[in-house]
């Protein structure tokens, strides 16, 4: 690193110094030399420029511009409205039943998906964290749901959870739950539709999170386990008293990831609905999430200004919840020790 | 003496336990129970995919059977032909579009993110740390939240309804830069860069001859992850491509599934076709994907 670090300095200050020293050096500052200086000084910026340009244009700018749109009357079907709406789009949120309903649904599905997801991932990871035959293939297999398009798996699960002839009802029937005469209608109420959608989310992400946990588990120093054995801790206690506190940073990371992802849930609830195009999340919004409501308000009701305000509300909610969850997880997984 | 006797049988057990338990889990051979539980987990992971294939190969009656059909039928080609010949869904075109979008986005992410990652890892320039901090901070910002404004931007550019609108937002990712930087810091020795400099190599020459060959494994990982994510993207393509003749395969499948009378063997045949490329990728590059995900975990 020393040369590369020193290089810009020498091409700047060092070269200047040499120039002041003698006239011969100055003449030797040939065009090749100038090229070299350009390369040293400006090339780094050229290398990062494409990233920053594209990122600012299509990532950052929309995010900020979203805030401007939220303050405007931006209706695709009615351009005659006054340009600025002030905070009207935001105040309207507070009285919007659809918004609160969607918020409620989003949190319900989020709880039903993230908690079992991370707990099961932890267990799967501790299963994988053994000397295994065909080790790689077990790990690759866990990623099958991860690479499967959510659109594809959501279609499969939609059929699983159909009222008549659905695999879920049939399987539950085997355990004496429900009956063919009065099958569970998974799309009739909040609880059942939430469970169905949470199942899709859990299926997709358990294996992925398990690999994240596995990676962290394998970097725990071995002597920690040696020390723990003296207290006579069994595998289960070992998992909760040693492994979990030791991999706490990655647990916090997955909690934040699943909060960000879970609160923006879109594809699963969309395709769970036989009338997906309406984006209502069931006949009475039983499982309509905020991301879905944003889509509906923006592109079905054509009110982009209001949809933008909702996006900002969702952004704030995600920030707050991610913060709370981080604190909670820190307490729960670290406090056990 | 008699008072000492009872604990004695327990003593060897106690002495053995530390030897057995002191081993780290990853050094302990898996027992039958572990294999059994893993097999059950795997069954849950595979079954929905398998069943997608079962319905994709069946006739309409397979969905109205109890107990449910679990054996593939013989109508796969029929269903596939039906999907491809639908007049209002453009399934073949949508597959081509998905390939175009995913390949362009992946190539762009690999190129631009490795360039920037190289600059952040091995070059000195004013503002480097501040700019890198900016990249890290934006890692967690979900750009889905700017989707309304993105739609308006694309509208101003006249790109809505075209593949350009789908491709442009994916061309670079903060994660890509972060990942590349981490890998280059660790895998490209400074001495190598220095000696190339002494020999008069330009920055681009260093990138091309030294950095690129060294980061091939990371390119494979980032490429696979990017391809999978791009192929599977649904929300933004749905918004910008709605009603256009250029859907991606994910949008086309959701089109198959909309309407009053949905023919699921067709939907799942389409879904299966759109899943196969990813299954092949996982089969070939699974090792790399696993390693990429696990390395990312330790570093973060």
Flag whether residue B39 sits within 8 Å of chain A, measured between CB atoms: no
Flag whether residue A248 sits within 8 Å of chain B, measured between CB atoms: no
SS3 per residue for B108-164: HHHHHHHHHHHHHHHCCCCCHHHHHHHHHHHHCCCHHHHHHHHHHHHHHHCCCCCHH
pLDDT per position as a tens digit, A161-203: 988 888 888 888 888 787 777 888 999 999 999 999 999 999 9
Complex-level ipTM: 0.87
Minimal CA separation from B52 to chain A, in Å: 6
Flag whether residue B107 sits within 8 Å of chain A, measured between CB atoms: no
Domains and CATH numbers, chain A: 2-54 (no CATH), 91-334 (1.10.3720.10)
Q: Nearest Cα to A130, choosing from A238, A255, A241? A: A238
The Cα A84–Cα A308 span in angstroms is 14
Give the pLDDT of residue A226.
Answer: 77
Tell me the CATH architecture of domain B90-250+268-299: Orthogonal Bundle (1.10)
**Is the pLDDT confidence value at A4 over 70?**
no
Minimal CA separation from A231 to chain B, in Å: 8
pLDDT band at A24 (very low <50, low <70, confident <90, very high): low
Flag whether residue A128 sits within 8 Å of chain B, measured between CB atoms: yes
Give the pLDDT of residue A68.
Answer: 92
Return the minimum-mean-pLDDT range out of A8-17, A196-205, A209-218, B166-175.
A8-17
For the segment A254-262, the average pLDDT, to the nearest whole number, is 91
Helix, coil or strand: residue A303: strand
pLDDT band at B180 (very low <50, low <70, confident <90, very high): very high
pLDDT band at A230 (very low <50, low <70, confident <90, very high): low
Give the pLDDT of residue A15.
Answer: 42
State percent of chain A over pLDDT 90: 56
Give the pLDDT of residue B145.
Answer: 85
For the segment B195-202, the average pLDDT, to the nearest whole number, is 89
| Mean pLDDT, rounded, of chain B | 87
Top mean-pLDDT range of A172-176, A214-218, B103-107: B103-107
Domain coordinates in residue numbering, chain B: 90-250+268-299
Give the pLDDT of residue A29.
Answer: 65
Name B79's Cβ contacts closer than 8 Å, sequence gap at least 6. Answer: B56, B57, B265, B266, B269
The Cα A96–Cα A322 span in angstroms is 24
Name chain A contacts of B239, Cβ cutoff 8 Å.
295, 298-299
Q: How far is CA A11 from the centre of its chain?
A: 44
For the segment B19-28, the average pLDDT, to the nearest whole number, is 70
Q: How far is CA A222 from the centre of its chain?
A: 32
Q: A241: which DSSP letter?
A: I
* Mutation to test the B interface, candidates A1, A2, A8, A48, most B Cβ within 10 Å: A48
**Alpha-helix residue ranges (DSSP H) falling in chain A:** 2-9, 15-21, 23-28, 31-55, 61-70, 88-94, 97-128, 135-142, 144-147, 150-160, 167-174, 190-218, 222-230, 235-238, 244-246, 248-262, 267-272, 290-295, 304-334
- Which whole-number Å values give the CA distances from B299 to A214, A249, B186, in the listed order? 13, 11, 11
pLDDT band at A225 (very low <50, low <70, confident <90, very high): confident
**Is the pLDDT confidence value at A223 over 60?**
yes
- Contact A51/B193, CB-based, under 8 Å? no
**Is the pLDDT confidence value at B108 over 70?**
yes
Return the minimum-mean-pLDDT range out of A14-18, A137-141, B224-228.
A14-18
CA angle B238, B239, B244 (to 5 degrees): 70
């Amino acid at each position: 690193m020393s040369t590369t670090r020193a290089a810009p300095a020498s091409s700047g200050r060092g070269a200047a110094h040499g120039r002041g020293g003698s006239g011969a050096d100055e003449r030797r500052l040939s065009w090749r030399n100038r090229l070299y200086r350009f390369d040293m000084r400006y090339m780094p910026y050229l290398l990062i420029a494409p990233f920053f340009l594209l990122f600012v244009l299509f990532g950052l700018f929309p995010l900020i511009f979203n805030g401007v749109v939220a303050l405007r009357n931006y209706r695709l079907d009615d351009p005659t409205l006054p340009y600025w709406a002030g905070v009207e789009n935001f105040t309207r949120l507070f009285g919007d039943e659809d918004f609160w309903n969607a918020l409620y649904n989003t949190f319900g599905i989020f709880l039903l998906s993230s908690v079992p997801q991370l707990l099961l991932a932890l267990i799967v990871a501790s299963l994988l964290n053994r000397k295994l035959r065909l080790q790689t293939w077990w790990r690759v297999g866990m990623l099958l749901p991860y690479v499967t398009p959510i659109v594809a798996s959501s279609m499969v699960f939609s059929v699983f959870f159909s009222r008549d002839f659905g695999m879920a009802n049939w399987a539950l029937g085997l355990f004496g739950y429900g009956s063919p005469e009065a099958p569970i209608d998974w799309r009739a109420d909040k609880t059942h539709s939430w469970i169905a959608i949470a199942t899709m989310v859990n299926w997709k992400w358990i294996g992925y999170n398990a690999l994240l946990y596995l990676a962290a588990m394998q970097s725990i120093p071995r002597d920690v386990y040696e020390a723990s054995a003296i207290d006579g801790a069994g595998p289960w206690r070992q998992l909760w008293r040693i492994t979990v506190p030791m991999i706490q940073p990655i647990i916090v990371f997955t909690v934040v990831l699943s909060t960000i992802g879970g609160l923006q849930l879109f594809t699963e609830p969309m395709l769970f609905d036989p009338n997906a195009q309406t984006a209502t999340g069931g006949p009475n919004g039983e499982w309509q999430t905020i991301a879905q409501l944003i889509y509906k308000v923006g592109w079905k009701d054509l009110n982009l200004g209001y949809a933008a305000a909702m996006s900002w509300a969702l952004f704030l909610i995600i920030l707050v919840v991610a913060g709370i969850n981080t604190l909670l997880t820190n307490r729960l997984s670290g406090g056990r020790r | 003496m008699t008072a000492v006797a009872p604990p004695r049988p327990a003593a060897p057990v106690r002495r053995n336990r530390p030897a057995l338990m002191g081993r780290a889990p990853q050094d302990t051979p898996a027992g039958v129970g572990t294999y059994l539980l893993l097999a059950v987990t795997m069954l849950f992971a595979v079954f929905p995919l398998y069943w997608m294939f079962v319905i994709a190969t069946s006739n309409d009656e397979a969905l109205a059977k109890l107990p449910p059909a679990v054996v593939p039928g013989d109508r796969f080609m029929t269903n596939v032909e039906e999907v491809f010949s639908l007049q209002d869904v453009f399934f073949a075109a949508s597959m081509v579009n998905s390939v175009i979008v995913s390949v362009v986005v992946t190539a762009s992410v690999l190129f631009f993110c490795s360039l920037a990652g190289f600059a952040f890892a091995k070059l000195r320039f004013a503002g480097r740390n501040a700019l890198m901090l900016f990249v890290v901070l934006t890692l967690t910002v979900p750009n889905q939240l700017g989707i309304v404004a993105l739609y308006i931007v694309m509208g101003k550019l006249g790109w809505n309804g075209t593949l350009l609108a789908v491709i442009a937002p994916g061309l670079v990712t903060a994660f890509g830069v972060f990942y590349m930087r981490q890998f280059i810091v660790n895998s490209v020795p400074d001495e190598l860069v220095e000696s190339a400099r002494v020999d008069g190599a330009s920055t681009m020459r260093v990138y091309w001859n030294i950095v690129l060959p060294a980061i091939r494994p990371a390119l494979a990982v980032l490429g696979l992850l990017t391809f999978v994510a791009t192929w599977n993207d649904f929300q933004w393509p749905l918004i910008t491509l709605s009603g256009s003749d250029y859907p991606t395969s994910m949008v086309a499948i959701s089109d198959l599934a909309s309407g009053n009378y949905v023919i699921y063997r067709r939907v799942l045949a389409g879904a299966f076709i759109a899943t196969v490329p990813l299954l092949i990728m996982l089969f070939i590059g699974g090792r790399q994907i696993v390693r990429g995900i696990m390395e990312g975990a330790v570093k973060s």
